[in-house]
Structures are given as structure tokens and as C-alpha cells.
Amino acid sequence: MKRFLTLLSMCLPLAAGAAGGENTVSVETAGSQMVLYVHQNGEVSFYHYGARFDNPDQILGYKSYRRWDYGTEPPAYPARGGRHFNQSALAVKYQDGNINTELAYTGHTVSRLSDDVARTVVKLRDAVTSLEVSLFYDAYYEEDVIVSHAEITNAGTGPVLLESYASSGIVLDAREYLLTHFHGAWAREMQVESELLTHGIKSIRSIKGVRTTHTENPSFMLSLDTDTFSEESGDVIAGALAWSGNYSMDFQVDETNRLSVISGVCPDGAAYRLDKGMTLQTPEMIYTYSGSGAGQASRNLHAWARKHCLYNSSSVAPTLLNNWEGTYFKFNEEILKGIVDDAASMGLEMFVMDDGWFGGTDYPRNASTQGLGDWQVDPAKLPHGVGAIADYAHSKGLKFGIWIEPEMVSPDSHLAKEHPDWIVREDGREVTTIRSQWLLDLCNPEVQDFVFGVFDSTMQLADGIDYVKWDCNRHVESAGSSYLKDNSSFWFDYTQGLYSVYRRIREKYPDVIVQSCASGGGRMDYGALHYCNEAWTSDNTEAVSRVFIQYGTNLIYPAIVCGSHVSAVPNHQTGNVTPLKFRFDVACSGRLGMELQPSDMTGSEKDFARKAIESYKGYRDLVCYGDLYRLGNPYSDDCYALMYVSPDKSRAVVFAYTLKFMGRTRRPLFRLSGLDGGKSYRITELNVEKSCFWGHGKVFTGSYLKGHGINPNMEKVYSSAVFYLEAEHID
Ligand code: GLA
């Protein structure tokens, strides 16, 4: 910290650097450094992101030996035009039809946002058109995270068209680049795929408008100089875009073998008109660098997210019972009260009433075919209103949560008939439905008021609504807004509209816990999580699938945001049958909940649930705030384990799962890499009569547990174990 303060005071006063000479701009964190190079002619190149080498001026005079006819050195923010011919972050068409932009340095500033966050702003300008770009780099010193975005200002004389306007670009130089990214679908989110990049452009993107994180996620990891993904060694750069709309992340390996990564709003069909004097602020792109593998990259992102990004990460969502898979749309007051009783008796802390409670008398929500938009209680199901259920839950000591899907409207609803102009559509084309619903046009401020109003009025339905599950069950098709003059700004404006509603909600309801759900994990991004406390990781609640989904999700997002529920067997999504203990042991590695009809459980199942929930409460702080160490990889290991360790390494919890039968002769071996070798730990297996590990109850040194490891007897497929470790002195 001391060195950081010295460094800052060296950079201050605010106006550092000026046009006219060769110069470097260095953005530093405890273990990483990003260096930009200002050339004599004002071009700003991106010269380094990775390990810290301190004095950036060592790089002054650097030569890449690029031939003059091979374009510019890699720009910090490549604009289309001039001598630049690789992919661009910015592409502008001017009023006179011209298409070139050449950005040159006009100065940079460094300021302190807080004790451990410094902001560097690099200012660029096109001399011919007066277009200005400010590049922001916020350095989070302790977490080794740099958050970057661009602001584009039209200081010219007429409107301009931004044909692309990415948030940020980085350039890396390595022998080879292993890209790890996340693909999937509904009920199969965050599947991990790694590939060595070849020359050309690889793009990961979504143009679905909303529910953008099912098929890809706006995040990645890059392992440098290797073809192998490693948890513990090598240079890794991870990135995530804080944006809930269309995005693209483009990876170009060029003829110099350098990799340029450009991330931001997807420009496809999204040209943005910027009027004279206006500034467009792009979403934030989050980067971290680790010199010791992917594990540290994840821990950096998690620590940064908890401290600087997530909405109120100091409060964890309570353990809960959600009635969706237990009842679907078929419930009434009596059924819900019975569920509340069971939830309370098992020690859960909240009841969440899911879809099906609204639609009034005309369009009661008895199926997904109607009722969205009519947010009045269905009196047939809840004759005494939502308040009766909320009060009942409270009387049993539980908090109360409720489901809404305020961006949507069913064709069969009063809202659809009263406000056809609020529906996303283009005149003359069919308005397609997905799950029998249309999307409301959040570009329109009247719709923003309505959506805010849905949240606001829902909050008035009962005293003490503690939690809102905000769902979003379709994406955009045939984009169009009757409010906008030019639909190419639809994509950007929709997400801005959503965020403006979120902001209003947070002003009025700072304490309510909001879950970001979009048919499961369709809105798992750091943009939404800035306003929502947690996310619904997937509609797939089946435990084996969840091991993979949560593994992928936690490469980028911390466990505190991952709603993770125990459901019934055979699982409703996959048909798979796993033991209750396995289901609990998987769910307990995230934010624990249950999602089933508890009256279908046997007495002994409830007893087990009670025990597992109680023990979870004892180590939940580790899951939510501890450092994650992955002890292997479920894609390659038959048995997979992960552990969370307290920051002072005095406590830890290990979750282990047998995913495949390994035969009679092999047993898993887990080296508990997150421990402190100098401490001694007592290891206790939780929630079992008889432990599967011979060392249960014994004390071992951290160096033994890290170096030799543990070999629990987890032969049978779907066997699982939870070990709790606490440091103590050997007596
Ligand atoms: C989505 C959600 C589910 C559930 C249903 C209700 O699919 O992801 O968890 O809330 O909607 O319709």
C-alpha cells in the first residue's frame, strides 16, 4: 500500500503528460502493469499488459521492427482509418460521408478515486473532425484488476454516426494464446471451451438484446505461451464486460502474431448517432492479470467484484425455499403455507413465491400463456392477497420473496391491449412470441416508468418483501421501437433503459435483495450484478450438470452470486437421479436454496436437510467471502473438488464429488492448495454418520494437506463429501 501511495503522489498533480514528446502512460496494480506509449506524432500504442516491471520509461525507444508498410503499431484504442488496418474499436462515419478517424494524444490525467483505486484518463482527438475520445483505466491496486471504458465526444460541427464504439482494447504478445470462453444454452450455461487461437479473428458475441448470457458469456480467460489451461501456473489474463445487452469480444491474431482483444457493445445493426456536443459512455470492461494461473485470476475477479462491483455484497441472500419446481403454477394459499411450514422446520430462512400469483381475474397466470403485464393478484389462488403469505412466512421467522417479470407482456393480458405501442416490434412484420410473450420497449421512458411501477407496486403488496426474483424469459426478435426515430440505437438504449430502472429501484429500495434471472443464467454479467445482489445460475437444478455450470460460472463470477438449489429426483430437466446428499453438497457450494415440494420428502430426508442446512450456516461465510481454489477440473477428472478458504487461511471448506466411477482400484487425491503450509488444521467431514476419510477428526499440517493431499474413499458414483477445516495448534 505504501508503494502505491508513493506512486500516486508521483503521478499527481492531475494534468500529467502533454502532447509533443515521446511518453509512456503506466497503469499499475500490486502485481500487474499496463503501459501505453505516446509517440512523437501523438499516436498512442498499447505496449504491455501483464507482469509488473515498474519504471515504464524503460520502454521508451522500443522498436518492434515493423516495416513501414505494415500499418501502425497496435493502437490503444484503434480507430478505423489512417494507416490502421486491423480490427477497430471505433468506426465513425461523418456527416460529409467521410470514414477516417485518426486519434492523437492530447494529454492524460491521474487521480485517486479512493485509497486503493487510481483513475488514469488518456485524452485523444482527431485533428480533422474534432472527435474526442477519453480512455479510462481504473486500477484496483489490491485486487490486480483494471477496469477500462471509453467516452466518445462529438466536438465537431454536425452529427456523426458511430458504427462501432467498443469499450476497450488490449494487445498481447505471446508465442501462443489459449482462449477459454463459455458457451451453452438454456439449462446448460457456462460450458467451458478452450482453444488455441489461430491467425484471423475469433468473435464471441450475443445479438439477442436481452437474455444475452445463455449461449456465450461476455467474459474470457487467456492463458499465454501455453496450450494448457492451468489453475496454478502461467500468465493468465481474464476479462468480463459489465453489460447486459448485445456484446462482442473479438480476438485477432495478426501477422506479427500479436493478439488484439476488443470488447464492447456489439456493433451489428447498432450504429449510434452522436449529435454535436454529445458524449457516449461505453460499458466497463474488467481485466485482471495473474502470473500464477487461472485460479488466481478468478480470485482477483471475485475479490474485486465483492468489494467494488456487486450490489451490497455485505449481505448474503438467505437460504431459501422457492416453490417453482415444487408446484409450478398449481398452488394456492394453503399449499404455500404448507411449504412455508416445511421450510421453517428445516431451518431455511426465506420463502420465495415464484411465477403464478398474478393476472387478476381476467388473465390468471395458470400457465405461461397469459397474464404477464397484469400484475394484480389472482384472487382464486390468493384470496387474502400476497400479504397473507408474506405475513405467514414472517410469523414463522422466514423472510419473504416474490417473482416478477416486469419487462414482459403476454398477448393475453390487459396491458397488451391497452399499450400495443409499448411492445418491441417493427411495423409490417409479425411480432413473434417466445414462451407466449412479447418484450416491452424499455427505450421508451413511459415503459421505464411502467416497469419501475411494477416493482414499486409489487413491493406494496405486503409488509416486508425482502427479496425479488426479476425474470426475463425471452430475447429480442424483429427489434423495433415506436418511440425511437432510428432503431439502430435500440440495442444500446434498451440496456440503458433497464439500468435506469434499476437505478430508480435502488434509490427507493436499497435493501431489498434482487435476483437477476433470465430463464436461469441468461443475465449473468457484471452489468446486472452491479444492481442485483445475486443471479439464478441455471434452470438446470440437476446436481451433476450443476457441477459443470457452477465450475464455469465461478471461473469469472463469485459463489456469493450463484443461486444454487436442491431439487427433487428424477430431476425435472435431465431426468437424472442423484442422492440427496450429493444434491445438497453441490448446492451448498453456492448460495443454498431448495426448490421442490417438501411434503414429498420423507422424514429422514428432512432430517438430513435440516442437518445440512445447519452446517451450511456455519461455513457459509467461507463460500460467500472466502477465496476459491479449484482442486482439479470436472471436465478431465472423474472426481472433482473445490475449496473456499478464509482470507487469513484459518478456516476452509472442501466440497468433493465423484462424477464417474473410477473402478475399484483408484481413489481420488485432492491436494488442498489453498491452505497455509505453516498452520495445522483439524479436518472434519460434515453431515455423515461415518466419514469417508481416514483422517476425519485428525489434525494435519497445512504443508501435508497441500503437498500430500487427502484421499477420501469416494468410490461410488455420485458420492460426495464436505470437509470443514479449522486451524489449531497440534497438542
Ligand atoms: C424462468 C425461471 C424459473 C422460473 C420460471 C417461472 O424459467 O428461470 O426459475 O422462475 O421462469 O416461469
Is 621 a catalytic site residue? no
- pLDDT, residue 351, reads 98
pLDDT in tens, 180-237: 999 999 999 999 999 999 999 999 999 999 999 999 999 999 999 999 999 999 999 9
Cis check: omega of the bond before 570, within 30 degrees of 0: yes
Enumerate the H helices of 318-362 as residue ranges: 324-327, 333-345
What is the arithmetic mean of pLDDT over 289-317? 96
- pLDDT, residue 275, reads 97
Annotated catalytic residue within 471, 493, 525, 585: 471
Domains of the chain: 78-102+111-309 (2.70.98.60), 630-728 (2.60.40.1180)
Coil, strand, or helix at residue 544?
Answer: helix
- For residue 403, the ligand 1 atom closest to its alpha carbon is 10
The CB of 541 under 6 Å from ligand 1? The reply is no
- pLDDT, residue 66, reads 85
Q: How many CB atoms lie within 10 A of CB 528?
A: 28
- Measure the CA–CA gap between 504 and 514, rounded to whole angstroms: 13
pLDDT at 472 over 80: yes
Q: What is the DSSP string of 425-476?
A: --TTS----BTTBEEB-TTSHHHHHHHHHHHHHHHTSSS---EEEE------
1 pLDDT band (50/70/90 cuts)? very low
pLDDT at 18 over 70: no
Coil, strand, or helix at residue 251?
Answer: strand
- Measure the CA–CA gap between 511 and 186, rounded to whole angstroms: 30
pLDDT at 6 over 70: no
The CB of 540 under 6 Å from ligand 1? The reply is no
The CB of 357 under 6 Å from ligand 1? The reply is no
pLDDT in tens, 240-285: 999 999 999 999 999 999 999 999 999 999 999 999 999 999 999 9
Is 539 a catalytic site residue? yes
- pLDDT, residue 730, reads 53
- Which residues have C-beta within 8 Å of that of residue 73, sequence separation ≥ 6? 37, 39, 43, 45, 64, 66
- pLDDT, residue 69, reads 84
Name the percent of the chain lying above pLDDT 90: 93
What is the arithmetic mean of pLDDT over 123-144? 98
Mean of per-residue pLDDT scores for the chain? 95
Q: How far apart are the first and last CA of the chain?
A: 37
- Measure the CA–CA gap between 688 and 6, rounded to whole angstroms: 53
* Side-chain-facing half-sphere of 319: CA atoms under 13 Å: 28
pLDDT at 161 over 50: yes
pLDDT at 619 over 60: yes
Q: Are 217 and 526 in contact (CB under 8 A)?
A: no
Between 38 and 8, the more confident residue is 38
pLDDT at 3 over 90: no
Q: How is residue 144 annotated by DSSP?
A: T
Using CA positions, which residue lies closest to atom 7 of ligand 1? 519
- pLDDT, residue 291, reads 98
Q: How many CB atoms lie within 10 A of CB 269?
A: 12
14 pLDDT band (50/70/90 cuts)? very low
pLDDT at 4 over 70: no
- Which residues have C-beta within 8 Å of that of residue 114, sequence separation ≥ 6? none
- Measure the CA–CA gap between 168 and 34, rounded to whole angstroms: 13
pLDDT at 448 over 90: yes
Q: How is residue 561 annotated by DSSP?
A: G
pLDDT at 548 over 50: yes
The CB of 76 under 6 Å from ligand 1? The reply is no
Q: Are 237 and 49 in contact (CB under 8 A)?
A: yes
How close is the Cα of 258 to the center of ligand 1, in Å?
Answer: 43
pLDDT at 12 over 50: no
What is the arithmetic mean of pLDDT over 319-344? 98
